[in-house]
Amino acid sequence: MAEPVANGLQSVESALAALLDGVEALPDEPVAIERAGGRVLSQAVIARQDVPPADNSAMDGYALRCSDAGRTLPITQRVVAGVPPSPLASNSCARIFTGSEIPPGADCVVMQEDVQETAEGIHFPKTLSLGSNIRSRGRDVASGTVLLKAGTRLEAASLGHLAGQGITEVNVRCRPRVALLFTGDEIVDPGKPLAPGQIYNSNRPMLRRLLERFGAEVIMAESVPDRYEATCDKLRQAAGKADIVITTGGVSVGEEDHVKQALEALGTLDLWRLAMRPGKPLALGRLPREDGHGQVRFVGLPGNPVSSYVGAWLFVRPLMGQLLDCPSLQALPRMYARAGFATRTQGRRHYMRVRLDFTPDKITAHAFADQNSAVLSSCIDADALAIVPPFTEVCEGDSLECLWLVEK
């Protein structure tokens, strides 16, 4: 059953669908793996070779034939890592080290703590199992199989995996270029003195960092005076060079709020006013590209810092995911947690900032006491957004769906 929505407001789902409709993935470019952290593969990488390339030892010890269990054997070779071994002579064993290749003929390795060194040679235990302490060829990666899928976001382990194949360069999606514009004549950047009535711009470093974590390149981050012409000029300038234009503030109903009007004059306002808290006045639309080819997506975040923060997670992140064709960015991981608080909602779905407490038998979501959209301290330790549907009473212990803020 569809969630009830207060009059005149759009659901988050319909707004997101409208924002993502027709958004195509960006082109790709080759990048050295040393600089590819956080980038998204545009095509699958096929393994060129087996890893490990040959059977090798998982322990420092002795390689032998399992059928020689319980015997005392002379050492006929010493195999060090990096040097190919000779076939194992019958009735003998080989001294071997972790990572050394297994000599042809040997079928198990016994670690040195489990043998006895005698004058006649090495005495082995009575029971040995075939293949023990041998890391077989291709166990990690088999040549010809998919090493990494298209859409993988490259992080520490996947970069190590690429290097393990001898790969130096990969094709990744170009980073979405984002223009950030901050409205509000009361907003001043840190470093300047505050006059009466002014406040510092919290949204600029906050959104820049968040966007970088989402994989964007922030190419513009400027304040816009609260005037209609100035807003139009900056929007035009931003749409000329960005893939996404984001504004903060100026989307509510006051006469100093010029963003929607400017957007309607230059492009399209697709949606405004959502059934969510925080972020009700969020505006979504499109601006024409300067060259006339296609359109740039526009996200008008409300000025309150918490509304901007939550709006970026819920709308900008999936948009980045679509531009990068990256499934892990398209939707936030969801989990269920027990409410460690009680609350009641009105006609908007509430995305509550919560800290998750993990104990062996349950996850508890602790909500910050003040959930007002101007209280940015509620976001600092928030691990997740707990979703409370409209017109709902939540009691302590109720199960709540939570969106995990993974790149916080």
Ligand X SMILES: Nc1nc2c(c(=O)[nH]1)N[C@H]1C(S)=C(S)[C@@H](COP(=O)(O)OP(=O)(O)OC[C@H]3O[C@@H](n4cnc5c(N)ncnc54)[C@H](O)[C@@H]3O)O[C@H]1N2
Q: Name the residue nearer to ligand MOO (CB basis): 65 or 353.
A: 353
The reply to whether 250 sits near ligand MOO by the rule CB under 6 A is no
Distance CA 60, CA 324 (A): 45
Which residue lies nearest ligand X, judged by its C-beta?
Answer: 303
The region of 155-163, 206-214, 277-285, 334-342 touching ligand MOO under the rule CB under 6 A is: 277-285
Figure out which of the listed residues 279, 285, 300, 318 binds ligand MOO, where binding follows CB under 6 A.
Answer: 279
Which parts of 335-394 interact with ligand MOO (CB under 6 A)?
373
Asked if the peptide bond before residue 104 counts as cis, ω within 30 degrees of 0, the response is: no
**Which of ligand MOO, ligand X, none interacts with 184 (beta carbon under 5 to 8 A by kind)?**
ligand X
Angle 338-345-406 from CA coordinates, rounded to 5°: 50
The reply to whether 249 sits near ligand X by the rule CB under 6 A is yes
At closest approach, how far in Å is the CB of 139 from ligand MOO? 52
Tokens of 399: 């199960």
The reply to whether 202 sits near ligand X by the rule CB under 6 A is yes
- Helical H segments across 109-178, by residue range: 156-163
The reply to whether 257 sits near ligand X by the rule CB under 6 A is yes
Q: How many residues belong to the chain?
A: 408
The reply to whether 307 sits near ligand MOO by the rule CB under 6 A is yes
The reply to whether 378 sits near ligand X by the rule CB under 6 A is no
- In a 3-state reduction of DSSP, which class is residue 384? strand
Distance CA 140, CA 161 (A): 10
The reply to whether 300 sits near ligand MOO by the rule CB under 6 A is no
Closest by alpha carbon to 342, among 393, 399, 400, 402? 393
Distance CA 202, CA 249 (A): 12
Q: Name the residue nearer to ligand X (CB basis): 252 or 328.
A: 252
CB 24 within 8 A of CB 295: no
Binding mask 277-306 for ligand X (x = CB under 6 A): -x-xx--------------------xxxx-
Distance CA 341, CA 339 (A): 5
- Helical H segments across 164-217, by residue range: 203-213
The reply to whether 277 sits near ligand MOO by the rule CB under 6 A is yes
Tokens of 254: 């006051």
The reply to whether 10 sits near ligand X by the rule CB under 6 A is no
The reply to whether 305 sits near ligand MOO by the rule CB under 6 A is no
Sign (positive/negative) of CA torsion 68, 70, 76, 77? Answer: positive
Distance CA 160, CA 33 (A): 9
Figure out which of the listed residues 1, 156, 253, 369 binds ligand X, where binding follows CB under 6 A.
Answer: 253
The reply to whether 322 sits near ligand X by the rule CB under 6 A is no
Angle 374-380-384 from CA coordinates, rounded to 5°: 95
The reply to whether 248 sits near ligand X by the rule CB under 6 A is yes
**Which of ligand X, ligand MOO, none interacts with 303 (beta carbon under 5 to 8 A by kind)?**
ligand X
Distance CA 256, CA 50 (A): 64
The region of 69-77, 103-111, 245-253, 395-403 touching ligand X under the rule CB under 6 A is: 245-253
How many residues contact ligand MOO, by CB under 6 A?
A: 8
Using CB under 6 A as the criterion, which residues of the chain lie in contact with ligand MOO when the complex forms?
Answer: 277-280, 302, 304, 307, 373
Q: Which residues bind ligand X (CB under 6 A)?
A: 182-184, 186-187, 199, 201-203, 248-253, 257, 278, 280-281, 302-305, 307, 373-374
